[in-house]
Structure 1
Amino acid sequence: MSDDIIQLHPVAGHPPSALTDAQLLALYAPASRAERHVRANFVSSIDGSATASGLSGALGGPADKRVFDLLRQLSDVVLVGAGTVRSEGYGAMRLAPDAADWRSRNGLPEHPVFAIVSGRLDLDPSSDVFAKAPVRPLVLTVSSAPADKRAAPADKRAALAEVADVVDCGASTVEVGPLLAALEARGLLQVHCEGGPSLLGSLIAADALDALCLTTSPALEGGDGPRIVHAGEPVPLRAMTLDHLLLSGSMLLSQYSRAR
């Protein structure tokens, strides 16, 4: 399957042609790296499912993976919920050598920081996420994080603190304001969220999401798969503006920005 991507909107006055990685990076680049920008990247089937056979990766393709990697390349921090880390089989947040070289040439650290949101500290400190991380990860949690079946809270926190910076972002619920403040205090302004639906829902509820990159997979899931967003309570409509629309085969890749 080809990963060629052409731009449908806006059209630059000449026939569309396949975009290079450099052109895609320019298209997705933030207006200013000095200002906080929170962007999420999700995939959905035509009929609105965020997963197929329980995994989001089953809906993607080469073009989607290409953009996925480039968005990481542009970020300061990759923000992911612990449930998504477990279900999608995340490893260490390590970019390909050419992407790391690009970042170095552009004055950035070779790899973005991996920030995992976990209200229960239900993470394995010995996993590759931590053991093979090129940059010390962050674990964003709550001060009342309960015990799991294997360890008392203090023991679990201490074990994770050996391999990551553990930061409280609320008392009983991870709160978006303190979470983003903790990232900003570390100079991590370009925030790239990869899921899951509950984390995206909390960003939308707090009106903290600046942009959404949505890949529409040319497939019908036809089951009871989840939406890309799950929020505890309804929120007011958040108006968005289409920045661009890309096409790869029958797959659409769009970016919408929050209309403030």
Structure 2
Amino acid sequence: MTSTTAPPPESAGGRTDLPPLDVLLPAAEHLPPDPREERLAALYAYGPPARGAHVVRANMVASVDGAAWGPDHRSGSINDDADWRVFRVLRALADVVLVGAGTARAEGYTALDRPRGLRHLHDAPLELAIVTRTGRVPEALARGDRAPFVLTGPAGAAAARGAVPADRVLVVGHDAEGTSPGPDAAVDLAAGLAALADRGLARVLTEGGPTLLGDLLAADLVDELCVTTTPTVVGQGPGRIVAGAAPSGTTALPPRGARLAHLLHSPEDRPGSPAGTTAARWLLPIG
């Protein structure tokens, strides 16, 4: 999960106090702070769709020992300014941010806007879509000025339509037996992504949480996995960036290969951004 904790104030042209980044792979390069972030955005440019009409990029942050959050159960307690720099660019390039309703509630999501100073990278509105089996929408989003899209199954349709306008509700689910919907009716993520693409929202950025990322991986719907590792050690307690039950009859998904597209490193040690943060972009082949 990535944090939505408010950053320090920005100037009209964007922040210039963020840490520089070294591109370790594919070739050594230095990216000093840049209000327009055009070179960093080029590294994260979306590729063509490989699994249909959409491209799904996941962005997560983890500690060195694999924790997905810190003592406050929020990712903001383990991220830093180097992670924030990448986070802003990823949001600037996406059409829609996809999150689980639990993550939206825990991280305090509200209606999204393009990061200040980066609207030149993509001038369309940035949409938010949440996934919820029950159809319950976090109150802060239901009462907001711009409602999110809600991906839910038949059992959650009524609750979702009671919380947000009906045209923002995408009913894309079925129960395990394929009969009448029950409280555990699954959300068909593939159908949900297709429905978003039909609305012009093909460049998808999912920010978790771990259960949603696990479900997307299990359905082979993730094209890219971007993982920032911050130089922190949390210890026992927090979960990994991927969670959820493994497919029936298994203990884990079969291991699959991934190709490293690039690896960034923050060399500077400063308050809020200690040296050693890395940001990796992994490309996942179709399973």
TM over 0.5: yes
Give the match for residue 158 of structure 1.
Answer: 161
**Aligned Cα root-mean-square deviation (Å):** 2.2
SS of 2:47's partner is coil
Which of 82, 96, 108 is 1:89 aligned to?
108
Q: Assess, with a 3 A threshold, how the Cα gap between structure 1 residues 130 and 100 changes in structure 2: closer, same or farther.
A: farther
Q: Assess, with a 3 A threshold, how the Cα gap between structure 1 residues 101 and 129 changes in structure 2: closer, same or farther.
A: farther
Give the match for residue 32 of structure 2.
Answer: 18
Instruction: Assess if the C-alpha contact under 8 Å between 2:53 and 2:197 holds in 1.
Output: no
Give the match for residue 31 of structure 1.
Answer: 47
SS of 1:191's partner is strand
Instruction: Assess if the C-alpha contact under 8 Å between 1:43 and 1:50 holds in 2.
Output: yes
SS of 1:246's partner is strand
Which of 130, 139, 145 is 2:150 aligned to?
139
- How far is 1:124 from its partner? 4.0
Q: Deviations over 1:78-119 (max 9, x none)?
A: 100000001111121112342234423xxxx1x221101111
Give the match for residue 40 of structure 1.
Answer: 58
Give the match for residue 207 of structure 1.
Answer: 220
For residues 90-129 of structure 1, what are the structure 2 equivalents within 5 Å? 90-104=109-123, 109=124, 111-124=125-138, 127-128=140-141
Gap regions ≥5 residues in structure 2: 1-16, 175-184, 247-251, 267-274
Q: Assess, with a 3 A threshold, how the Cα gap between structure 1 residues 164 and 48 changes in structure 2: closer, same or farther.
A: farther
Moved more, 80-89 or 31-40: 31-40
Give the match for residue 186 of structure 2.
Answer: 173
Q: Distance in 1 between matches of 2:219 and 2:39?
A: 32
Between the aligned residues of both structures, percent identity stands at 36
Q: Distance in 1 between matches of 2:240 and 2:167?
A: 31
Give the match for residue 148 of structure 1.
Answer: none
Q: Distance in 1 between matches of 2:262 and 2:223?
A: 15
SS of 2:104's partner is helix
* Deviation beyond 6 Å, 4+ runs, structure 1: none
| TM-score after normalising by structure 2 | 0.78
- How far is 1:180 from its partner? 1.5
Q: Deviations over 1:33-66 (max 9, x none)?
A: 7952110000111111101011111111111111
Q: Distance in 1 between matches of 2:22 and 2:86?
A: 12
Instruction: Assess if the C-alpha contact under 8 Å between 1:92 and 1:130 holds in 2.
Output: no
Q: Assess, with a 3 A threshold, how the Cα gap between structure 1 residues 157 and 32 changes in structure 2: closer, same or farther.
A: closer
Q: Distance in 1 between matches of 2:233 and 2:161?
A: 45
